[in-house]
Amino acid sequence: MNQNYRIAVDAMGGDNAPQAVIEGCIMAIKEMPQIEVVLIGDEVKINKELSKYTFDQSKIEVIHTTEVITNHDSPVMAIRRKKDSSLVVGMNLVKEGKVSGIVSAGNTGAILAGGTFIVGRIKGVERPALAPLIPTKKGYSVLLDVGANADCKPSYLVQFANMGYIYSKQVLGKKSPRVGIVNIGAEESKGNMLTKETYKLLEEDTNINFIGNVEARDITDGEADVVVCDGFTGNIILKNMEGVGMFLFSAIKNELKTSLRFKIGALLLKPMFKSIYKRFDASEVGGTVLLGLNGLVVKAHGNSDGKAVFNAIRQAKNFIQSDVNKSIVENL
C-alpha cells in the first residue's frame, strides 16, 4: 500500500521562483500520485502561476507568507528576523511534523542555518553535512561534506562516513557501500592531521566498509561509493567538477562547429552526447540532502528549472521512503 508524503516547497526560493518551482511541483503531483505539496510564499504570485495549469487541487496547499530571504541576506540574521519568510515557515512545518520534509532552491547559508537551528540535529549528531550525489563511471557516489562545515574534527568525518554509508545503502541500493576519505595519496601515512586521525578512527569502525584513502582524480572512477571530506575540500571538489564538465562540453561543442565533417559526425553521435550530458546534468539529481537533521531538508540548485525542482521532490520522497533518519538514529 502506497504511503502519502506531504512535502513543503519554498515557492520563493531560487533564481527562477516562483515559475520554475510551481512547474516542478505540478510535474511532481502528476508523476507521483503519493505526493502532496505545500507551497509556501506570496499567495497572489503562487495562485497566478497555478492558474496556468490543470491539476488535482487537493494535492496542493498554499500557505501565505509576507517575507522572502534573498541571497543578499545574512543567513543567520535572516533566519532570526524574517519569521514570516517562506523558508522559516517551511522549516517550522518540518520541525512540528506537519510535513515530511522541505525543498528549497533559496539562500544556501540560510537553509543550513534554518536546518540546524529550527529543524535541529538528530541527537548525537555533531554537525549536519551536505551530501550531493555525483556522477561516476559506476553510477553515483555520495560526497560529503561539501560546504556545511568548512572546519572539521575527525569525529565529524566519522559521523559523515556513517551517515553517507546509510544513505548510499538505503537510497542508492548499494549492498555494502565502499567508504573512502579524500587525501593527497592512497598511502595511510599521507595527508594532514585531520585525515590521518580520521583514517585511524574509520579503520576501527565496524559499522562501515572503509577502503582507505581516495585521491581526487579517482572519485569519478567510482573508487568509493561514499567519499568523505571536510566541507572546504568537498566544496572545492564539487565546484571544480562542475567547472571541468562545463568546459569540456563547451570545448567539444565549439570544436564540432569547425568543419563539415565534424558537423556530420556530431549529428550521428547526437544521441550519445545527450546521454552523457544527462549524467552530468545537475537537474537530473535535483538537490542535495542535508544529512543529520531531525527532519528532511533538500537544497535544490539556485538556478533550478522545473525539471530540477521535480527531481528534488522525487529525491525527498525516496529519502523519506527509505527511512534514512531512523537508521542514522539507530546507528548513533
Sorting pLDDT into bands at 50, 70 and 90, what band is 236? very high
Say if residues 304 and 105 touch (Cβ distance below 8 Å): yes
53-73, pLDDT tens digit by residue? 998 999 999 999 999 999 899
Q: In this structure, how many other beta carbons lie within 10 angstroms of the beta carbon of residue 246?
A: 11
- According to DSSP, the β-strands at 178-182 and 35-41 are unpaired
What integer pLDDT is reported at residue 271 of this predicted model?
83
Homologous superfamily assigned to 5-125+292-325:
Isopropylmalate Dehydrogenase (3.40.718.10)
DSSP 250-272: HHHHHHHTS-HHHHHHHHHHHHH
- According to DSSP, the β-strands at 60-64 and 178-182 are unpaired
Q: How far is residue 9's CA from residue 37's CA, in Å, rounded to a whole number?
A: 7
Sorting pLDDT into bands at 50, 70 and 90, what band is 272? confident
- Of 206-220, 239-253, 255-269, 316-330, which has the strongest mean pLDDT? 206-220
**Angle, alpha carbons 283-289-292 (nearest 5°):** 175
What integer pLDDT is reported at residue 283 of this predicted model?
60
What integer pLDDT is reported at residue 2 of this predicted model?
55
Secondary-structure class of domain 127-283 per CATH: alpha beta
Q: Do domains 5-125+292-325 and 127-283 have the same CATH topology?
A: yes
Domain boundaries, the chain: 5-125+292-325, 127-283
- Of the listed ranges 82-86, 300-304, 312-316, the least confidently predicted one is 300-304
- Of the listed ranges 111-115, 202-206, 245-249, the least confidently predicted one is 245-249
Sorting pLDDT into bands at 50, 70 and 90, what band is 327? confident
C-alpha cell at position 36? 502532496
What is the chain's mean pLDDT, rounded? Answer: 91
3-state secondary structure of 21: helix
pLDDT of 129 higher than 50: yes
Identify the residue whose cell numbers are 561534506.
145
What integer pLDDT is reported at residue 1 of this predicted model?
40
pLDDT of 222 higher than 70: yes
144-170, pLDDT tens digit by residue? 989 899 999 999 999 999 999 999 999
Q: In this structure, how many other beta carbons lie within 10 angstroms of the beta carbon of residue 196?
A: 16
- The mean per-residue pLDDT over the stretch 183-199 comes to 91
C-alpha cell at position 175? 549492498
Q: How far is residue 229's CA from residue 181's CA, in Å, rounded to a whole number?
A: 6
Say if residues 104 and 27 touch (Cβ distance below 8 Å): no
- The mean per-residue pLDDT over the stretch 189-215 comes to 93
| Residue ranges of E strands in the chain | 5-10, 35-41, 60-64, 101-104, 129-131, 133-136, 139-144, 178-182, 209-214, 226-228, 287-291, 296-300
Percent of the chain with pLDDT over 70: 96
What integer pLDDT is reported at residue 284 of this predicted model?
62
